[in-house]
Structure 1
Amino acid sequence: MARYLVQRLLLALGVIVFVSALTFALTEATVDPALAVAGEGATEEAIQQIRRQYGFDRPLVERYLGWLGGIASGDLGESYRMRRPVADIIGEHLPVTLKLGFLSLAFAILVAIPLGVLAAVRQNTWIDRFALSVSVIGQALPNFLFALLLIIVFGVNLRWLPISGSGTWQHFVMPTIALGYYAMPALMRLTRSGMIEALEADYVRTALAKGLSPGTVVFRHALQNAILPVVSLGAVQFGFMLGGSVIIEVVFGLNGLGYLARESIRRADLPVVQSIVLLISFFYVVLILLADVLNGLLDPRIRSTGA
């Protein structure tokens, strides 16, 4: 198990370093940081002075290593526009995005796994067809369109829920459903296919032949094996929710990382954009790492092979 953990940690570290280098290079190549700091209408002399003052005239690799060293010491730099530490700005917006991500994942799991189990146990029935229909609609319907439909029905017509803001739990109901519904089809289909494969296995037939109740066989034997890939997919989906919440946060007026990223890109605030991309990538990699470790604990075959 120790070797398995070391392999996964080294892989995760390599991915984070690669993403940080790619993010820094792409953002620096897209926008002139000196011009972003000086603002529109600045003279060439002012731009050159800022370039020397901030060290933008140094080689790209040297600036990247300095930026990476600052991150290692907890310094994410200073926002060009707000003139405040990036860490403080992100800290103000991160709780909203994390709350939305956790709620959306919980909603997706609580709906997808039971529905997938029912669809597998009741194959080729109306329950199975309903589950597959929900899956198809969930993947075909863009989340921003679904979010607008929720606003029209529950916010405008019925007036049950607030349309924008993040002051109360009611403000998170529609964003949670809109973001979670987009992740639900993949989780449901994977649960269904895993359960169908598990229910057809020899050990399940043996357990039934020994007189175990169908509920015990389904939940204690079949589901335990079918849930392994769902754990990994759930971690990936949570990372996707953190990174893909930009549209949902903008639609519902949630002042989270997604909204901050949009505004920072529009204003060419590179330190904020770079830090947000790196932070979301870090969450994504750590979640996949935790999923791999959990799968290794649940299935000894994984950690013994190092797969």
Structure 2
Amino acid sequence: MIKAVCGLLLRAFVVLSGATILTFALLWNAPGDPAQAIAMARFDALLTDEVVDQVRQEVGLDRSFWQAFWAWLGPLLTLDLGFSAVTGRPVWPDLAAAISYTFPLAFSSLAVGLAVSVPLALLATKRPGGWMDRLAVAAASLGNAIPAYWLGLILILLFSVKLAWLPALGASTPAHAILPALTLGLGVAASLTRIIRSGILEARGQPFLPAFRRRGIVEKSIGRDHVAPHAAIPVVTVLGLELAFLLEGLVLVEVIFGRPGLGTFLVQAILARDFAHVQAVVVLTALVFVAVNLAIDLTYRIVDPRIGESDA
């Protein structure tokens, strides 16, 4: 177990290092003058060359790439994300405010996905090949094919414009989270339904199950002790990755629904070439992926101890 955790931590270091360097390089070499973009975002007006040069020196854009990168990385090692080049405020409070909107929405979307996919997959596997099974597979395939932005716009048109049941833009009340959570949650449900269904059918087809039945073990015990753990392994993988990829999907969905979360935070930072804000989101996202992968690996060893035997 210790060897596995050390290996995961080493891979985490590689992922974090690669993500930060690559993102910094893309921002640094993006078309246009970053100093002018920062100055425009800061003053919201046309500026003279003198003001742009002053901003360039102030935020360190007159240095080389590696000098600027190490100047940002040094404080990060002490958990200091620095200051925004546009607002001049520390990054942490603004990032925490964005997280307070994004993470609850991500978990709500995951809950919606589970609430839809688990009953649908269980109904589908009652009679494999039956009409309910075919309907569930078709619904899951359709859900995977629908882009999140298109589904979000359809939900806004139906529930906000036509029926006027739910608000479309903002995040001031819990009702504002319903349509974004449905938009993301239905996409999650489409993926989970197929994985849960396949996992259950594969687990039920294991060759050792008839031997348990001949011994008189009841179906409930077989399902709980043998089918469920076997089917849970692919589900754990997809569930963890869906939670991580929800952060990626939230960028687009939050912009569509006008929510002040990480999506809006990141888009505004990219447009303003605010290096500190963009890098903060990159580091946070990479940490989430690393933490999710670690949790998945450890969960494997709990669900099926045989997976960890090679580490002994």
Instruction: Summarize the Cα distance change of 1:226–1:301 in structure 2 as closer, same or farther, 3 Å threshold.
Output: same
RMSD over aligned Cα atoms: 2.0
From 175, 182, 186, the equivalent of 2:187 is 182
SS state at 1:202 partner: coil
User: Percent identity of the aligned residues?
Assistant: 34
Matches within 5 A, 1:86-105: 86-105=91-110
Q: Which residue of 1 aligns with 2:151?
A: 146
TM-score normalised per structure 1: 0.92
User: Residue 28 of structure 1 aligns with which residue?
Assistant: 28
Cα pair 1:27 1:274 within 8 Å, conserved:
no
1:228-267 superposed matches below 5 A:
228-267=233-272
User: What 5-or-longer segments of structure 2 have no aligned partner?
Assistant: none
Per-residue deviation at 1:15?
0.8
- In terms of mean alpha carbon deviation, does 112-121 or 239-248 score higher? 112-121
Alignment of 1:75-224 (within 5 A): 75-224=80-229
2:38 corresponds to which letter in structure 1?
V
Q: Shift in Å at residue 197 of structure 1?
A: 1.3
Choose 2-11 or 27-36, whichever is displaced more: 27-36
Q: Secondary structure at the match of 2:61?
A: coil
**Closer/same/farther in 2, CA of residues 197 and 276 from structure 1, 3 Å limit:** same
Residue-by-residue CA offset, 1:225-279 (whole Å, 9 max, x unaligned): 1111211211111111112212211222221111121222233323212211221
| Partners of 2:184 and 2:246 within 8 A in 1 | yes
SS at match of 2:117: helix
Question: How far apart in 2 are the matches of 1:165 and 1:47?
Answer: 34
Match of 2:19 in 1: 19
The answer to whether the Cα contact below 8 Å between 1:36 and 1:80 also exists between their aligned partners in 2 is no
Match of 1:269 in 2: 274
Q: What is the aligned length? A: 306
Match of 1:301 among 283, 306, 309: 306
Shift of 1:79: 1.7
Give the aligned partner of residue 286 of structure 1: 291
98-107 or 270-279: bigger deviation: 270-279
The SS at the match of 1:235 is: helix
Report the CA distance between 1:102 and its aligned residue: 0.4
- C-alpha deviations, 1:177-204, integer Å up to 9, x for none? 1101112222211111121111011232
Over 4 Å off, 4+ runs: none
Q: Which moved more, 1:292-301 or 1:35-44?
A: 35-44
Local SS of the residue matching 1:212: coil
Q: Which amino acid aligns with 1:200?
A: G
Q: Deviations over 1:39-93 (max 9, x none)?
A: 3743334433433333322221222122112222222122222221111111111
Structure 1 CA distance for aligned equivalents of residues 56 and 259 of structure 2: 35
**Distance of aligned partners of 1:94 and 1:271 in 2 relative to their CA distance in 1, 3 Å threshold:** same
Q: 2:285, 2:298 → 1: CA distance? A: 20
Deviates more, 1:152-161 or 1:41-50: 41-50
Encode CA deviations 1:86-117: one digit per residue, 9 max, x unaligned.
11111111111001100111111232233223
Residues 54/160 of structure 1: CA separation in 2 closer, same or farther (3 Å cut): closer
- TM-score normalised by length of structure 2: 0.90
Residues 172 and 301 (structure 1 numbering): CA distance in 2 closer, same or farther, change over 3 Å? same
- Give the Cα separation in 1 of the matches to 2:135 and 2:265: 38
Specify every segment of 5 or more residues in structure 1 that has no aligned partner in the other structure, as ranges: none
